[in-house]
Structure 1
């Protein structure tokens, strides 16, 4: 249990350092630096040393890898794919607005947040500012915003059904006064230590500031924001570092933490973009891969598409498949869908069974009810782009896409243990 608590404590620190995808990528990079990995610049020529760890940051995404001694042009890859972004709200251009004596922030809905969960919480703004010369600065405000809900006295029917207009009802307040005399961008620039006049662009999102917490009987429940999907990013990071010194095994271990999954992954740093293919190609080139050697390496490669999944909800059991009802604390999920919304097939299921047995980890199968279609992941995108076999897995949650999600303390560490076994298989 001590190891579990240590894992959760460090995972909590990782979450608190990662209020945006850009902060998450920076925190991954910081931890990789501390573990002896070398950062690579995509614009430069690379010399890849044997048995060494390397990583590349592209905007809010990061790909890191460790190769075994003796890796060559046909050495396969073992990839843990995840994503750094989470649903919420993103700052619009001309963001300082307001009315009736209130200062408000103009925001746009990012992804598919569970909107009511963001009401009446102290939120922060976090992300990046880019100056006219292209310099990037990370910034975060700490508690700064709130989306106030209408009091029940002014809407007597609210408990019979809450309807939120995305434009009118989800605009947060951050003070009182005249909007013409306030400047939200200037406030952010001041926090970043730069002049407001030098800010030429920004990617700023909201995050809940309530810290992660364990609670319940025996403190076995864990609540935090952005479990979808920093639970998978951290598990992959933890496993990569644990298995890479010294690098062992017959494959190259890769952590691919993409951005923009919540929007469909169609960006230069998303799973539908070229990022992973770019990096794998450059790794292969550094190992002497030419022509069909690269395809031979891919033919023996595997990807774990790790993203959070649904545990059975005790108050809504009818929304779940009657025979497959994973529970919190039952281990990570093997996600299956007949229509390839998840990429798991029979060979992938067998690989996951071997991996979890090696790690001494229980796992659970997840499939949706036929009346409640599931979402999708980066898994089918990766399989389609690269032809690499993919298995969809993840930590079971309640309240997915809430400002604050819920899991069991054992499941995140179990996913990390299984990922470590996946990176360094015994057979």
Structure 2
């Protein structure tokens, strides 16, 4: 595929993945096209050199790997880590409220979204619904409303004269409920919502028990710019990194590498990763150790494999926006379409250090790709990602990197076409080298 086709594939991937559960389902479909076999944590594993496998935990975190042709204790693991979740709005358990003849959907803020960007957009719901199956067991099913279902209308400027000077400020309790419909007397609000769930999932509303639904923007991803050198979509942070990692793993050279290659994509990064399926949990250590035992390594062999391992933590980076120069460290401005970004922080908000930086630079040289280095302004609090926690848990040398983007945590984010292609090239060198 050429550059535009590869990025269109990314946009298709994101548009098919309006929630972490949908993202993992989309990843699973792509893995199965390349003959990856699903492993279940409650079952015994049997692996063969060159085998292709994946493990899913709770529907929204997934680890895919290709068993290398050489012993793990000799080569170690080559790990790419990213996350499947994005900040936004999640539906509350008692979803429906009625106020002055209008049915509203109550929502809770998930992570750190730019709330104002969710106003006046064509919003809908996606996630999963849990229900009682025919055999009496508790099951779950993906749920997605394709049509615009909800809206968060702005207040007219005649009633908020200072909005352009002071910015839009939304009270999270009172002003975030999303407008669904006007109330008809024959429709009791809770029953109406269960009826909607039944229409979206084909599950009898009497069997629906609970749900995890998030708000998503129904607008599709697009290219923009005079030469279509940029693209915009929701959830670029961090589905763009997941797509780049999977694309590199599915390259022919990666699929036939000597070392074992791993893509680990976690939910809950945006809220701290401390969960049974988050990066600060046991999911990746559990899978790596079981992989080691399944190919005949003992505990000592597993520890030797970790000592020879390397991890790339891929999460999007802050591109320089010239309208806001004071938000950036003046000597570390990273630009769109000038290559992947190595993220550095002295306080280990990012886990990069000189050796891991140098190794990533070498893979960039092999791929004939430029790179940039990012450091946050010292007087502004720095964010973090999954790199430090995974590196600490595993004892594995790690570098934090990501592609530059604008409007991180907006409902509509932007990035560069050539950066995405370049990151795939670098990750191919990482896995295959």
Q: Could you state the TM-score of these two structures normalised by the residue count of structure 2?
A: 0.95
- Mapping of 1:401-416 within 5 angstroms? 401-416=409-424
Give the equivalent residue in structure 2 for 1:301.
Answer: 309
Give the equivalent residue in structure 1 for 2:175.
Answer: 169
The whole-number CA distance in structure 2 between the counterparts of 1:201 and 1:388 is: 39
CA contact (8 A) 1:73 1:285 kept: no
CA contact (8 A) 1:73 1:287 kept: no
Give the equivalent residue in structure 2 for 1:12.
Answer: 11
Give the equivalent residue in structure 2 for 1:337.
Answer: 345
Offset of 1:70 from its aligned partner?
3.3
Offset of 1:41 from its aligned partner?
1.1
Moved more, 194-203 or 305-314: 194-203
CA contact (8 A) 2:73 2:305 kept: yes
Give the equivalent residue in structure 1 for 2:57.
Answer: 58
- Give the superposed CA RMSD: 1.3
- Confirm or deny that 1:146 pairs with 2:113: no
The whole-number CA distance in structure 2 between the counterparts of 1:22 and 1:72 is: 31
Selected match of 2:221 from 188, 200, 212? 212
- Mapping of 1:6-405 within 5 angstroms? 6-59=5-58, 60-132=60-132, 133-142=137-146, 143-161=148-166, 162-178=168-184, 180-181=188-189, 182-243=191-252, 246-249=255-258, 251-405=259-413
CA contact (8 A) 1:52 1:247 kept: no
SS at match of 1:174: strand
Q: 1:106 to 1:213 in 2, by over 3 A?
A: same
CA contact (8 A) 1:54 1:66 kept: yes
**1:260-298 deviations in Å (ceiling 9; x for gaps):** 000000111100010001110110001112122111100
**1:4-23 deviations in Å (ceiling 9; x for gaps):** 10101111110111000000
CA contact (8 A) 1:72 1:288 kept: no
Offset of 1:98 from its aligned partner?
2.5
Q: Could you state the TM-score of these two structures normalised by the residue count of structure 1?
A: 0.97
Which stretches in structure 1 are left out of the alignment for 5+ residues? Answer: none
Offset of 1:309 from its aligned partner?
0.8
Offset of 1:245 from its aligned partner?
6.6
The whole-number CA distance in structure 1 between the counterparts of 2:125 and 2:400 is: 32
Aligned residues between the structures: 423
CA contact (8 A) 2:46 2:295 kept: no
The whole-number CA distance in structure 1 between the counterparts of 2:114 and 2:293 is: 44
CA contact (8 A) 1:66 1:244 kept: no
Which stretches in structure 2 are left out of the alignment for 5+ residues? Answer: none
The whole-number CA distance in structure 2 between the counterparts of 1:88 and 1:160 is: 25
CA contact (8 A) 1:121 1:208 kept: yes
Moved more, 316-325 or 187-196: 187-196
